[in-house]
Chain A
Amino acid sequence: MAFVAGSSTPESRLMGGSETFYSASLLSAACNLSCSVYIGERDDPSYVRTDIGNTVVFAFRGSLDPQVVTSATTKYGECHIHDIDCLEWMKDGNNQPASVHKGAFSQFLDIWNNSPLQEEAGLDCERGKTVVFTGHSMGGAIASLATLCMLDKQLQPGKPKSIFCITFGFPLIGDEVVARAVRRKRWADQFCHVVLGRDAFSRILLAPCISVRKPLEALLPYLKRSMQSAGDSMGSTDTPMEEALPEGIAEFVGTVIQHCSAVVNYSSAAKMSPNNPSIAVVKSLVKLSPYRPFGHYVFCSRTGGISIENHFAVLPILYYALQTSDVNSEQFILEHVGYNHILPNALQNIVKLQELSDLPLSDADSRIATQMDPLGLGIQNCQARLSLSAAGQLQKQQRENVSKLEDEYQAKMEIPMNILEDYRSLCIRDGSGYVDAFKKKERRDRDFQANLKRLELAGWWDEIILNKFDKDELPDDFQCSEEWIRRGTQYRLLVEPLDIANYYRLGKNEDSGIYGRPSRYKTLQKWLEDNEENKQLQPPPAMLTQDSCLWAYVEENACLMDKNNYSDEKRIELENRVRPLIDSHGLCMEDFMTGESTFKMVVNWLWTHMSPAQQATSPFRSIIYYRPPTAQN
């Protein structure tokens, strides 16, 4: 049973990113361990730790109680992630927490908080071992959540990720937010989900709880007994149990397929262009299952299988492989408990689907054809092939967009950025901060040129953020690219003050109130913040003021100053922005203190209105007593 990572033969390498890792022998071993934890009388969530060479495998058992799987207050049994620090960073663009299946989540929390798992796995990591979390069915769900937590806890920049997750017949349990978070962190390689083509249980959470509750009340106990007694029939080939299956399987499978179809066809149709306008309206009227796949998948038939990394393609395969034509409906149930019988053979014949956009509609590569046919994805299933090609196209498009942006940045954006940097230095040389210069009533040609460059850059970043990023035309990890974060931050810190200056110069605040921040800046700032948490980037030296919004608070106070209308509230707002900047040396004095600076005037004016007690604790103190460094000879 022992194996060594990296020693597998080329034929048995399954995955790309970690291709030396997920070998057929490892998957088989994990499968055996995952299934054997169910053997016996007990069915409470727990795990077993096994050493295999330098690898440690934690195999989880989850409860298949109908209460756990389908009872919930929400339509699909989902709940927000709560009460656990290492998963709470998963949020969507509006800062809403991610959702996961409540049954799986509570079982996981139980193990995580009440067992020595954290210590054991943590210790193994420290010893330099490779840690694999694995599980079958609900056990797989627990293993996935444990993996996410351990990755978050153990990961340090520069260190290789040595935590992996292998699941079998795992139902989807995390929503879009979880799936995106995994891709953003580039953790997809850490997950390998093995799913049998017709295992209906790996898709049940795509159906509303209520629609499957009744059949599951009969089916789940059957499956549980089947898993618990699997030891007796180890090695036998087909039915793991003599017991007859409960009634109503065909209807149950039909329900699952129908809901699977709703999710899959919606996601496919919504991503296409041009698309049907009714889709979006209907989507707002019906609540579809929130669960989405994350990580890599291996889909197996009895004779072989395919491995796939393109996340757009996983949902369609989950659906098209399940369609019932010419299949005995019992198979949809039995496959869920047949992993340890079927996989040892199937894993010998896995083909990797590389570039789906080139996936031929008439099969030239016979190896692919041989594995696609038994999964129901052969060329006779034209709809499925089109859907896979579309998935390939989406991914290809994302990749091409990134390289296009890369070229465009160098061709079009570097020059305006340089001009604005020069503008800033020229202004300082001539004795005023660039924001003050930009804002004054009498503009010179230089100020006007700066304005043109500001507009050019705004148009370009809006195109990236609003037209590409927000519309999913860039990969999820684009926002984690250090190069783009650097560019975005540089742009934001240099140019946003000019936007604010322009806003107040034109008196827009009198019409629309305080400066409304364009979403490009909000997004760019979020990119930086999301990434800083993990990378603990060294704060760059204060070449530019690190708070690009500061100027808006200065202007708000300046407006009051003009009317001699002092406000404690506005002063405190400004102080609260200034304080962290002073503490972190993030305030660029050159920009703010040169010449007849509005900032200087505002701070001086506020200072005169403050009581000595207020002055004593005010961050303005260091500005009031600031003396520019004398030029050194």
Chain B
Amino acid sequence: MEPDSPLFTVGQESATFLLSCGILSKAWEVSRLASNSKSFTLNEYEGVAYVAFPSFHNIETFLVKERKYGEGNIQTDNKVFSDCLKGNDDQPALVHQGALKLFLHIMENTDFKTKLQMYTDSKQRKLKPIMFVGHSLGGVVATLATLWVLEKRLRQSSPFCITFGCPLVGDVSLVEAVGRENWAGNFCHVVSKHDIVPRMLLAPFESIAEALLTIFPYWQGKVKYSFIQDACRKLHKNVLDSLSKSDGRNPYRPFGTYMFCSSNGAACIEDSETVLKMLHSTMQRQEASSGEIVQDCFSEHIGYGSVLKHVIEKFISGRRIANPDSDSFYEMGISLQLEAIGVGVQDNPARIALQRAGETENERNTNVDKLAIKLGEKQCRMAELEWYKERCEKEDGIVYYDSFKNQNGKKDIHANERRLKLEGFWDEIIEMWEKHELPSDFESRNKWINAGTTYRRLVEPLDIAFYYRTCKGNGNYLSYGRPNRHKVLQKWMEEKEKTRSSISRGLRTKRASLTLDSRFWAYVEEARKDLENLKRGQHQRLQNLEKFEEYVTTMEKALSISSDVFMKGSSFVIWWEEWKEYKKKQSPEWSSPLYKIMEKLEGLRLQGV
């Protein structure tokens, strides 16, 4: 099937908007003024707080000698960053250790946190928006500072980050974390066509560190280019060499919006892989031998002021060079973007990458729209199962879990049909998610987490019932039978819970209408098996059973077990009666917290409440 292309591209419009609204020029101005600062500057301008970090301060800290590429865990001993910054495989994010040290230095040795408080304190009635900006090494600090504010969820309106000529900072896990949280829109990295710094970490850090030390004084305006020419050549060559090899072991990946500028214009790209490709493409097309180009690679790093000025003049005049020939608006837009960032329309790999990125994003959006419509239809299946639950309780006086397990009536068969339809729907979602066919922040969208949680709590008991009905006591649902969808959906919910502020999660005052732990009935089944075995003399089971009792007690105290569980004759109540009998036989005075709770519930039932 042909991929569904978007109708238009948005890369050039985005870039022109960012340039013409004046925010980039202001950010550049502010970061220039911060260049002599030793830590950071904070100024307000038109109601926005600009925090800027110096470009070349504390260089030695940046030049670390850890690992080949200088990368390391973002989580440090003092827990500045939490463990939500991890990849989809739960691996903690890696960042350049020099960058991390620069940021930690400012966090720990300056009044950064104190000064920031008035912009992040949720007690302030109207919080001013905050922007972190930085050029070069200041950019990496700005990036980490933004991540820190986002990740601490200090404020309602999120911060924005603008960098100029900023080296790459983090690895693919960080890209995934940013995608999951939908933070990519909070970063804008401006990259000039020849500037080597955004690409330099693609080479092994050990191969460039020494040359960098020599080159920094040139960028600081302390020495002339002719003095550092050799170091530049060497660094340039090392970067080009590793680009052409691209051994795949380099950990760094870009995240956020990248604005590529050239003498032809500017365009924005967000897709991480495509940005990486563009960082390559714009660099590789240069003839390495030409001394002038090498010089550009280093002089452009400190020339962002004129780069911005040039692209703004460019769109004011409206002069254009090429006139792409295509009958598709989308392809034409792609051509204009390639032209604008100076890659050239002839660069086929770049064109294909850019085109694919737009198509993939478009497909993901289309998919989620389609799923949303299907979800609406599935609400009716859910309502039918809710009604099934209700009818089991009201008409037959039996908990729906047991009724479904027994499969005695027509309505149980109907319920099974509904269960299978919902299973198909959620399996499809999980499969699409695993194949990256859904937007990267899908799993943290409240709508889907809530829908998934309700589904899991209502329907997983039926999956458990089905399992124990068919496997006749031989298997353990929790170890072998639990479908992937329930595991994934539970994980999504748990991850989201972590990010919600503890204040909003008050204690329950009312009993849950569906048992919060959807695995509950599986624990009951296992406990019943354990009890049988215990009676047969397997004393090692006692511990499991006591643990189960404790689990039920904790759940019940938090009011997180729904009332149907305690219905007369339910699997749980049967277990309880047997367990009580067993315990009483051991010692007639036996009592426990759960014993008291169950006695109280029984008392209430007898009173007819």
Interface residues of A (CB under 8 A from B): 254, 257-259, 261-262, 265-266, 268-269, 272-282, 284-288, 320, 323-325, 361, 376, 379-383, 386-387, 389-390, 393, 442-443, 448, 451-452, 455-456, 459-460, 462-463, 467, 506-507, 510-511
Q: Which residues of B contact A443 (CB under 8 A)?
A: 387, 390
Most buried by B among A262, A280, A511: A262
Please state if A275 and B10 are interface contacts (CB–CB under 8 Å).
Answer: yes
Please, how many angstroms separate the alpha-carbon atoms of A382 and B265 in the complex?
A: 14
Interface string of B326-338 (1 = CB under 8 A from A): 1101001100100
Q: With contacts A285-B131, A383-B12, A390-B7 known, is A278 near B18, CB below 8 A?
A: yes
Contact B361 A274 (CB under 8 A): yes
Interface size classification for chain B: 35 or more
Is A262 within 8 A of B257, CB to CB? Answer: no
B384 touches A390 (CB 8 A): no
Cα–Cα distance between A376 and B21 once the two chains are bound (Å): 23
Interface residue? B16 (CB, 8 A): yes
Q: Pick the contact of A274 from B319, B365, B510, B513 — CB < 8 Å?
A: B365
Contacts of A459 in B (CB 8 A): 376-377, 379
Cα A434 to Cα B160 in complex, Å, equals 53
Q: Which 7 A-B pairs have the closest CB atoms?
A: A323-B318, A277-B185, A459-B376, A265-B17, A269-B13, A261-B20, A276-B14
Contact residues, B174-196 vs A (CB, 8 A): 182, 184-188
Give 1 or 0 for each of B348-369: 1 = CB within 8 Å of chain A CB: 0000000000100110010001
Q: Kindly identify which residue among A284, A320, A379, A451 contacts B383, using a CB–CB cutoff of 8 Å.
A: A451
Q: Does B409 contact A (CB under 8 A)?
A: no
Cross-chain contact A510 with B17 (CB below 8 angstroms): no
A467 contacts across to B, CB distance below 8 A: 369, 372
- Cross-chain contact A268 with B7 (CB below 8 angstroms): no
Q: A276-B268, A380-B323, A455-B379 are in contact. Are A324 and B10 (CB under 8 A)?
A: no
- Which B residues are CB-close (under 8 A) to A382? 320, 323-324, 332, 336
Contact A390 B323 (CB under 8 A): no
Docked pose: A376 CA to B323 CA in angstroms: 14
Chain A residue nearest to B441 (CB atoms) is A277
- In the complex, are the beta carbons of B317 and A282 less than 8 A apart? no
In the complex the two chains form, is B373's CB within 8 Å of A463's CB? Answer: yes
Query: What residues on B are CB-neighbors of A361 within 8 Å?
Result: 326-327, 329, 332
Contacts of B383 on A, CB cut-off 8 Å? 448, 451-452, 455
Q: How far is the CA of A176 from the CA of B320 in the complex (A)?
A: 32
Asked, given contacts A273-B6, A278-B14, A324-B318, whether A285 binds B377 with beta carbons under 8 Å apart, the answer is: no
On chain A, the residues within 8 Å of B270 by CB distance are 276-278
Q: Which residue of B lies closest to A384 (CB)?
A: B318
Within the complex, the shortest CB–CB distance from A452 to chain B, in Å, comes to 5
Chain A nearest Cβ from B84, distance in angstroms: 19
CA distance A254 to B324 in the complex (A): 27
The CA-CA distance from A389 to B333 in the complex, in Å, is 12
B8 touches A (CB below 8 Å): yes
User: Residues 1-30 of chain B: 1 if any A CB is under 8 Å from the residue's CB, otherwise 0?
Assistant: 000001111111110111011110000000
What are 17 inter-chain pairs, A to B, with CB distance below 8 A? A258-B22, A261-B16, A261-B315, A269-B10, A276-B14, A277-B257, A278-B186, A281-B185, A325-B318, A382-B320, A382-B324, A382-B332, A383-B336, A386-B329, A389-B8, A455-B380, A460-B376
Distance from B365 Cβ to chain A, minimum over Cβ atoms (Å): 6
Return the chain B residue nearest A279 by Cβ.
Answer: B14
Closest Cβ of chain B to A386, distance in Å, is 6
Is B394's beta carbon under 8 Å from chain A? yes
Consensus secondary structure, chain B interface: helix
Chain B positions near chain A (C-beta within 8 angstroms): 6-14, 16-18, 20-23, 46, 48, 129, 131, 157-158, 160, 182, 184-188, 256-257, 268, 270, 312-313, 315-320, 323-324, 326-327, 329, 332-333, 336, 358, 361-362, 365, 369, 372-373, 376-377, 379-380, 383-384, 387, 390, 394, 510, 513
- Could you tell me if A325 and B319 are in contact, using CB atoms closer than 8 angstroms? yes
A462 to B326, CA, bound (A): 39
Name the contact of B184 in the complex, choosing from A277, A287, A389 (C-beta under 8 A): A277
Indicate if the CB atoms of A274 and B362 lie closer than 8 Å: yes
Cβ contact within 8 Å between B10 and A274 = yes
- A325 to B21, Cβ gap below 8 A? no
Nearest chain A CB to B508's CB is how many angstroms away? 9
The docked-state distance in angstroms from the alpha carbon of A379 to that of B383 is 56
B320/A258 in contact, CB under 8 A: no
Q: Enumerate chain B residues within 8 angstroms of A288, measured Cβ to Cβ.
A: 21
B318 with A386: CB separation less than 8 A: no
Report yes or no: B8 in contact with A272, Cβ–Cβ below 8 A: yes
Decide yes or no: A266 and B21 within 8 Å by CB, A278-B188, A376-B318 being known contacts.
yes
- Distance in angstroms between the alpha carbons of A286 and B160 in the assembled complex: 12
Question: Which of A276, A284, A442, A460 is B10 in contact with, Cβ under 8 Å?
Answer: A276
A146 to chain B, nearest CB (A): 34
With contacts A323-B317, A443-B387 known, is A276 near B185, CB below 8 A? Answer: yes
B380 CB contacts on chain A under 8 angstroms: 452, 455-456
Q: How far is the CB of A400 from chain B (nearest CB, A)?
A: 13
Q: Is the CB of A278 within 8 A of B48?
A: no
Contact indicator B376/A462 (Cβ below 8 Å) = yes
B73: min CB distance to chain A, Å: 27
When the two chains form their complex, are residues A383 and B320 in contact, meaning their CB atoms are under 8 A apart? yes
Q: How far is the CA of A324 from the CA of B315 in the complex (A)?
A: 9
Residue of A361, A380, A389, A507 with highest tally of chain B CB at under 10 A: A361
Decide if A279 touches B376 in the complex (CB within 8 Å). Answer: no
C-alpha spacing A396/B582, complex, angstroms: 74
Contact status A282-B21, CB under 8 Å: yes
Residues of B within 8 A of A277 (CB): 182, 184-185, 257, 270
A278 touches B22 (CB 8 A): no
Kindly list chain A residues whose C-beta atoms are within 8 Å of the C-beta of B365.
Answer: 273-274
Q: Is the beta-carbon distance between A258 and B20 smaller than 8 angstroms?
A: yes
Which listed residue, B185, B257, B268, B320, touches A381 by the CB 8 Å rule? Answer: B320
Give the CA-CA distance A277 to B22 in the complex, in Å.
18
**B129: A residues at CB distance < 8 A:** 284-285
**Is the Cβ of A274 less than 8 Å from the Cβ of B6?**
yes
Nearest to B160 among chain A residues (CB) is A281
Which residues on the B side are within 8 Å of A387 (C-beta)?
13
CA distance A275 to B326 in the complex (A): 22
Bound: A314/B416 CA distance, A: 57
Q: Find chain B residues with CB under 8 A from A258 CB.
A: 20, 22, 312, 316
What is the CA–CA distance of A325 and B318 in the complex, to the nearest angstrom? Answer: 6
Tell me which residues across on chain B come within 8 A of A379, comparing CB atoms: 323
CB closest residue in chain B, given A322: B318
Q: Is the CB of B323 within 8 A of A286?
A: no
Indicate if the CB atoms of A386 and B8 lie closer than 8 Å.
Answer: yes
Residues of B near A261 (CB, < 8 A) are 16-17, 20, 315-316
A74 shortest CB reach to chain B, Å: 13
A545 to B18, CA, bound (A): 52
Q: Which residue of B11, B23, B384 contacts A285 across the interface (Cβ within 8 Å)?
A: B23
13 extra interface residue pairs, beta carbon distance < 8 Å, beyond A266-B21, A325-B317: A262-B17, A272-B8, A272-B9, A281-B160, A281-B186, A284-B129, A285-B131, A286-B46, A320-B318, A380-B320, A386-B332, A443-B390, A451-B383
CA–CA, A258 to B6, complex, Å? 28
Question: In the complex, which residue of chain B has the Cβ closest to the Cβ of A286?
Answer: B21
A381 in contact with B13 (CB, 8 Å): no
Report B-chain residues with C-beta under 8 Å of the C-beta of A268.
Answer: 13
Contact of A266 among B17, B46, B373, B387 (CB under 8 A): B17
Residues in chain A near residue B13, CB distance under 8 A: 265, 268-269, 272, 387
Closest chain A CB from B286 CB (angstroms): 27
